[in-house]
Structure 1
Amino acid sequence: MRIFLETCPSSLVTLTLGFFHFPAQSKEKDEKTKDPYAVVGAKSHPNLKEFSLGAGYTPSFTPIDPEVSSAIFLGFLRSCSPDIKIYGLNLAHSWEFIQPEVTEAIAMLTGIRPRYFEVPAAEFSTEEDQAMADEISSLRRNHLHVDPSSNSTPRAVWRSIKIKGCPLTSPEAFSAIIESSQHGLQNLMIYLGERISSQHVQTILHHGTALRCFTFNHNRPLLDCRVMLQSTWNCTLLTQLDIHITGIPRPDVLFNWKGDKLLSDGALAAGTITDSRTISSIMDESRRLQRQIYTRLATLVNLESLQLGITCPPHLKAIVTLSNGKRGLFDRGQQLNCLEMSLDSGLDILAGMRSLKMLNVQSMEHRIGISELKWFERELPNFQALSGVETQTLRTCLLYDLDDPGLDRCGVGYEWC
């Protein structure tokens, strides 16, 4: 790794390397890595504007000699221009935090000292939540007291905020996170997001110009589509996004999660005669709105993973007997007023998202069929996996007494389920 970094071409403008864990080396290789004269033909990299490296290590499995880990990066960092943007995993055991010497080299090169904030899984009291808000806000407060004309001291900023605990309880805590998103935050990972409002989510996506990862593990917050369209998204560096977009009129959805007929506007109810022009106008409105949403998503040209759905845990699933006598395993968390994800609704607007590798539409009332599967394969060259198709296809066939459409025989080459 050291030889590669120090000898890569001086003309490089962007250097992006994938994720890896540091392997254990022999003592002989360690000594060679540390040797200041080990690299022949080292080059300067004055043109490099962006360096992205997903590298980390697990201390319990791969202990690393501090001198080795420092040697891998220090020579390379010293060869770069102060204008460079540096992206890492931003976690406790990723490359930029392995040794203080590396973190310090980044700070002296860029003028920004990367920091990470991590809260373990725990029940928060009001006092603990306030203390968390105070700590997150502290870097910004300290920066306000620094003479802006002084360039001698690197400015500390949060690069990563990871909260494993229970839902955020105080407005101050999330206000502090929103403030951090405006000042260099790259990774925001929250395990439980049910108390986070649509406006909070939209504010982060609007201000997070450095944001690379915005994810939730459980109970993702809902982003109302109309709030989503109130302001632009300036988070075009995002590579990973978990989001539930809601509030979309779906007159084509006739059943609730457990297969009961809906009586909502635009949905045909048993024994009711509904003006077909009304249904048509609602569908037209839905499609116009969905095209606007796809257009907003399409601005995320660096996105690699998009989680619009979520795999429901076993306790949220139920075996249901339908009125037609058929039985199926349905999700209580089924999203009904979500994107169709069909070509008719404007899916092809996402053709510019050529970095996309993974898409999750689990527990969504989507309309992905053979045409859409083939579109993903044809238009997205890096696409690898699509989850949530088989279960929704089975649900649709059961509810509407349809035959198996044969998606499993359509011949797409990526993984899907």
Structure 2
Amino acid sequence: MDHPLKSATTPINFIQNPWTDELLLPPKPADDFQWNTFARPLPTEVFSIIAANLSKAELAKCFVASAREGSLIRNGMFIKSITTQYFSLVDLLETYSDACPNLTDLEVHSEDSPPEPTPPSQFGDNWEATGQATTMGGSQHMRFGSGYQSSSRPKTLDLTNLTHLVQRIPKLRKLGLYGRMFTNQKCSSISRLFNAIPTTVEDLILANALPPFYVPPSAVIEDDTEDSDSGEGAPLNITRIEFRICLLKDQVLIPLLRRCSRLRTLVNSSQIIAISQEVSSVLREHCNQLTELRLETNSKAFTDKIISHLIDASVKGWKSIHLPFAVCFGPLSAEALLKHAPSIEVLRAYGCPGLTSSVVQKLLCTARNLKRLEVLDKRAFGRLSTELDAQDIIQSRWVCHDLEVLKIKITGIPRPDLRVRTNSRPLSGPLHEGSMENSHSYQRMVYCQLGEMTRLKELVLGSEDRGRTGNHEEEQESEQEYFNPDRLQSWRQYECLSFTLESGMDHLRHLKSLKRLHLQGMAVGFGNVAEQLWAKENLPELKYAYGDWNLEYRKVNGYGDDQYFKVNPFML
């Protein structure tokens, strides 16, 4: 896309051609402007910096002016991607669409026409400005906004020209429709737009933008009369569909999905509306190639039953499932998930408390193709994480020997050596009683399971959770806050593997591919001299080891020699 640039020192508007480094200026002279066309190789960073100083409205106006002077006709063959924030530019693009034969990516937003600058006279509700106030002590910057009057948004957008534009792009691969484009639209208008999608499109993004406190029943209204032109179109080659707060009715979505027999990836990040059971049934019946599911929502609209129907939608078997913060994931969803264990290669389900220890253990014992299991993430911000109990681990053997990434809390380890928390609060319970021999016996069995994952590259068993506990202990403001008995420190682990040679850590010596080890918040002895030397000898690929013994997170051999390791063995 042509990038309009404005000089910081002279009143010149530029249009940069990123493929030829040509600065294009309209040939007609005007007051206070210099016009020319010349070639000058400049670093890409220069144009990025200058363009960053232009507002969306200025960029749009520069684009319109240059297009009317012939820039699209001259350079349209080089354009591969177009993103427009203003829906009014669709008319212009539709006019010059034949000049862009190589366009592959189109992203259209629903904002109204660029607002006109309004010089503020008094502080008010409809204008914003950027100002700087100088005081006796120096200067103080205050940002009031962009200096443009807010514009009213039409209730309903005319999708006719957008429909024609989409039809006239011969090589379109990716189509993104953003904003309130579908708000108050009739089903027939949206159906005609979907029917116009060419068979070349492979990636489709439908994203609604909602006003504050908006809880809609739907984004479309019913047609008063039947429209014979709004029937289902030709089969599509779409392989990926992403819904972002998509509020379209089933009568619009279902005909679209029926045409997507090659659909492989389904992404839904809606926070309000869940995918209905009818849509899940259509996916199962017509989209037989589905292998990747990303359900990025913490909305309670996605009940356990709805999630289970969505998981059942894949006939071929899911290879990748991403369910972050699926708070309603329950027994039905777990049962549906385990049905796909033979095909699953990637599972990300952190912040998903319904994924129990027994379910994870069954998955590890049946998913032979599993390569990534991530149910622990520091971005969980206090949400309950899945914990794999040692009692479950020792019951049966894991079969996922191709596992490369494992992120999970392993709990239920007897630790009679720990009696006090780091904040001096006492520890109690059966896991902090008994003998060390029993503790080491449990740990050796767990180490053996982990040691058989010889392709493991990243092992994350602990993570710092600021959202649940506030600041770290080393950042507490006072001694009283540090030793506050009410601070439960639930992200810390005291019933975990101790990672000492005495406990059987030597069973991990076969993890020759391990590159990253995360043990934050865990009571471990990995920072001891003997354990560090053992890691140096037995884990040759280990480059990063994170834990409470090492708050600076140094690299193994990060200084290029072995002397540093011997002098300061606590810094892996």
Structure 2 length-normalised TM: 0.43
CA offset at residue 164 of structure 1? Answer: 2.8
1:117 corresponds to 2:293: yes
Q: 1:166 to 1:372 in 2, by over 3 A?
A: same
2:331 aligns to what? Answer: 171
For 2:453, give the aligned amino acid.
L
Decide which of 451, 454, 461 is 1:301's aligned counterpart.
454
One-letter amino acid of the counterpart of residue 309, structure 2: D
1:193 aligns with 352
Change in 2 beyond 3 A, CA 1:326/1:410: farther
Matched residue, 2:514 = 356
Root mean square deviation of aligned Cα: 4.1
* Alignment-derived partner of residue 342 in structure 1: 500
Structure with larger RCO (C-alpha < 8 A, sep 6+): 1
Shift of 1:168: 3.4
- Describe the SS at the equivalent of 1:371: helix
Structure-2 change in CA distance of 1:114 and 1:255 (3 Å): same
Q: Which residue does the alignment assign to 1:41?
A: none
2:364 aligned residue? 205
d(CA) in 1 for partners of 2:372 and 2:330?
23
1:291 corresponds in structure 2 to 444
Matched, 1:258 2:423: yes
| Inter-CA distance 115–315: structure 2 relative to 1 (3 Å threshold) | closer
Distance 2:447 2:431 in 1: 23
Give the Cα separation in 2 of the matches to 1:206 and 1:412. 40
The aligned amino acid for 1:132 is: I
After superposition, residues 65-104 of structure 1 pair within 5 angstroms as: none
Q: Secondary structure at the match of 1:138?
A: coil
- The residue that corresponds to 1:233 in the other structure is 398
Instruction: Say whether residues 1:132 and 2:307 are aligned partners.
Output: yes
Q: CA deviation at 1:409?
A: 6.7
User: Contact 2:350–2:386 at 8 Å: present in 1 too?
Assistant: no
Asked whether the equivalents of residues 330 and 355 of structure 2 are also in contact (C-alpha less than 8 Å), the reply is no
Q: Specify whether residues 349 and 119 from structure 1 end up closer, same or farther in structure 2 by C-alpha distance, changes over 3 A only.
A: same
SS of the aligned residue for 2:435 comes to helix
**Paired residue for 1:400?**
none
1:374-407 CA-to-partner distances (Å, cap 9, x unmatched) read 22121112111011142699xxxxxxxxxxxxxx
Q: Which residue of 2 aligns with 1:378?
A: 537
CA contact (8 A) 1:257 1:330 kept: no
Deviations 1:241-268 (Å, cap 9, x if unpaired)? 111111111111120352123354586x
Superposed displacement of residue 372, structure 1 = 1.2
Residue 308 of structure 2 contacts residue 336 of structure 2 at CA under 8 Å; is this kept in 1?
yes
1 or 2, which has the higher helix percentage? 1
2:435 to 273, 282, 286: 282
> One-letter code of the match for 2:465?
C
Tell me the equivalent position of 2:412: 247
- Between the aligned partners of 1:364 and 1:204, the Cα distance in structure 2 is 25
User: What CA distance in whole angstroms lies between the structure 1 residues aligned with 2:204 and 2:536?
Assistant: 37
CA contact (8 A) 1:363 1:392 kept: no
- Retained in 1: the 8 A contact 2:344–2:370? yes
The separation in 1 between residues aligned to 2:294 and 2:516, in whole angstroms, is: 26
Instruction: Summarize deviations over 1:181-203 as a string: whole Å, max 9, x none.
Output: 13x11111113132321101101
Given the superposition, is the C-alpha separation of residues 130 and 98 from structure 1 closer, same or farther in structure 2, using an over 3 Å criterion?
closer
- Bigger Rg over Cα: 2
Provide the rounded CA distance (Å) in 2 between the counterparts of 1:390 and 1:187: 31
Separation of aligned partners in 2, 1:411 and 1:101 = 62
In structure 2, relative to structure 1, the CA distance for the partners of 1:326 and 1:312 (3 Å cut) is closer
Cα deviation digits, residues 303-347 of structure 1 (max 9, x gap): 11111111121541464848x9999x9944211111010111111
CA shift in 2, pair 1:139/1:382, >3 Å: same
Shifted more, 228-237 versus 252-261: the winner is 252-261
Taking a change above 3 Å as real, the CA distance of residues 124 and 345 of structure 1, as seen in their structure-2 partners, is same
Structure 2 CA distance for partners of 1:114 and 1:356, relative to 1, 3 Å: farther
For the residues of structure 1 that align with 2:261 and 2:571, how far apart are their CA atoms? 42
* Compared CA separation, residues 382 and 125, structure 1 to 2 (3 A): same
Q: Distance in 1 between matches of 2:483 and 2:371?
A: 48
Count residues in correspondence: 284
Aligned partner of residue 133 in structure 1, secondary structure:
helix
Q: Distance in 1 between matches of 2:505 and 2:460?
A: 15
Classify 1:204/1:412 alpha carbon distance in 2 versus 1 (closer, same or farther; 3 Å).
Answer: farther
Change (3 A) 1:160 1:263: closer
TM-superposed deviation, 1:370: 1.7
2:464 corresponds to which letter in structure 1? Answer: T
Letter in 1 for 2:299: E
Alpha-carbon distance in 2 for matches of 1:337, 1:376: 23
Structure 1 pair 199–326 and aligned structure 2 pair: CA distance change class (3 A): closer
Look up the match of 1:223.
388
What is the CA deviation profile of residues 1-41 of structure 1, one whole-angstrom value per residue up to 9, with x for unaligned ones? Answer: xxxxxxxxxxxxxxxxxxxxxxxx979xxxxxxxxxxxxxx
Q: SS in structure 1 opposite 2:459?
A: strand
* Change in 2 beyond 3 A, CA 1:136/1:250: same
Is there any run of 5+ residues in structure 1 with no aligned partner, and where? 1-24, 28-58, 70-90, 105-111, 141-155, 268-278, 394-407
Residue matched to 2:166: none
Answering whether residue 321 of structure 2 is matched by residue 161 of structure 1, we say: yes
Q: Distance in 2 between matches of 1:261 and 1:135?
A: 45
